[in-house]
Amino acid sequence: MIIKDFALKTKDNNQLKISAYGCENLNNGCLIFVHGFKGFKDWGFGPYLARYFAEKGLFVLTFNFSHNGIGSDPEKFTEIDKFAKNTFSREISESSELIDAYENGFFGKVSKPQIALLGHSRGGAIALLTAYQKREVKAVALWASISRLDRYSPRQKEQWKKNGFFEVVNQRTGQLMRLNVTLLEDIEKNKDDLLNIERAVKKLNRPLLIAHGEQDLAVPIAEADQIFHWSDKSKTELFKIQATGHTFDIKHPFEGSNDKFEKLLNKTYEFLENNLIKSR
């Protein structure tokens, strides 16, 4: 398997750090993995899932959003200032630019671009909102996806606006990480348009896989049910996994796979095989 690292400069003069797995599969269909909040491309299952799908014959891209907090060290949050300035609109824009880069030959000339998105947690919402904009995306798979971006109480929002920032604790690293009020302003300004998940799902009109652990404490499985409720049932499958949580019992640093995660990988590949590979 050929694995290469790339750096893509965005229109806003930021940089997306990208790992491409299965470069020999460039013309076999492209799967782009979208990480979630406090996530990054090399977290836990990232490299493992990329190798899994590349070994199945797909060209797989994993990447860090420019403002996800990861800098020169691929596994540490050293760019806390950038993390504070991130917005959902920025992530949608950067996901779209990555799709354009693939189609325009940034990774090598592609004869017939075929793209699917796989998003975990908040990355699921970003994948849905990006696919709504980018009709060339053929299929979307969601792992433990959120159904709403506005996850804050009125009191939290009031304090957020008063202080100019909102603080969250990274349980893994113990770091206190700020979110500037620009994120809240993005939610409030674009909730009915760019960041409208309900509309994106209802108008997706493409194959959709919704996979969720039944014991997810971070994102309740009711959010998977909500996305399924909005979806076109003729094109959507809801796949619930018993006795597992938000990361499907995978940890960081990666300690190995497990039966439940393998079941998720197999189900996702079956979905991609039917809706990306066979459609070529």
The 10s digit of each residue's pLDDT in 2-55 is 999 999 999 999 999 999 999 999 999 999 999 999 999 999 999 999 999 999
Q: Which residues contact 206 (CB under 8 A, 6 or more apart)?
A: 131, 137, 138, 139, 140, 235, 275
Task: Return the residue matching tokens 């113990």.
Answer: 174
CA 12 to CA 216: how far, in whole Å? 36
Q: What H or E segment, with its residue span, contains residue 9?
A: strand 3-9
The 10s digit of each residue's pLDDT in 168-214 is 999 888 899 999 999 999 999 999 999 999 999 999 999 999 999 99
Q: Which pair of structure tokens corresponds to residue 210?
A: 């919704």
Burial class (CB in 10 A: 0-12, 13-18, 19+), 70: buried
Give the pLDDT band of residue 277 (cuts 50, 70, 90): confident
The 10s digit of each residue's pLDDT in 217-259 is 999 999 999 999 999 999 999 999 999 999 999 999 999 999 9
Q: What H or E segment, with its residue span, contains residue 24?
A: none
The 10s digit of each residue's pLDDT in 114-157 is 999 999 999 999 999 999 999 999 999 999 999 999 999 999 99
Per the document, the length of the chain is 280
Burial class (CB in 10 A: 0-12, 13-18, 19+), 181: middle
DSSP code, position 149 = S
Q: What is the dihedral of CA 241, 51, 60, 47, to 10 degrees?
A: 80
User: Helix, strand, or coil here: 172?
Assistant: coil
Mean pLDDT on 64-74: 96
For position 252, what pLDDT does the model report?
A: 95
Statement: residue 280 has pLDDT above 80: no
For position 278, what pLDDT does the model report?
A: 67
Which CATH number does 3-150+193-277 carry? 3.40.50.1820
Q: Angle, nearest 10°, between helix axes 46-55 and 259-272? A: 50
Q: Are 27 and 107 in contact (CB under 8 A)?
A: no
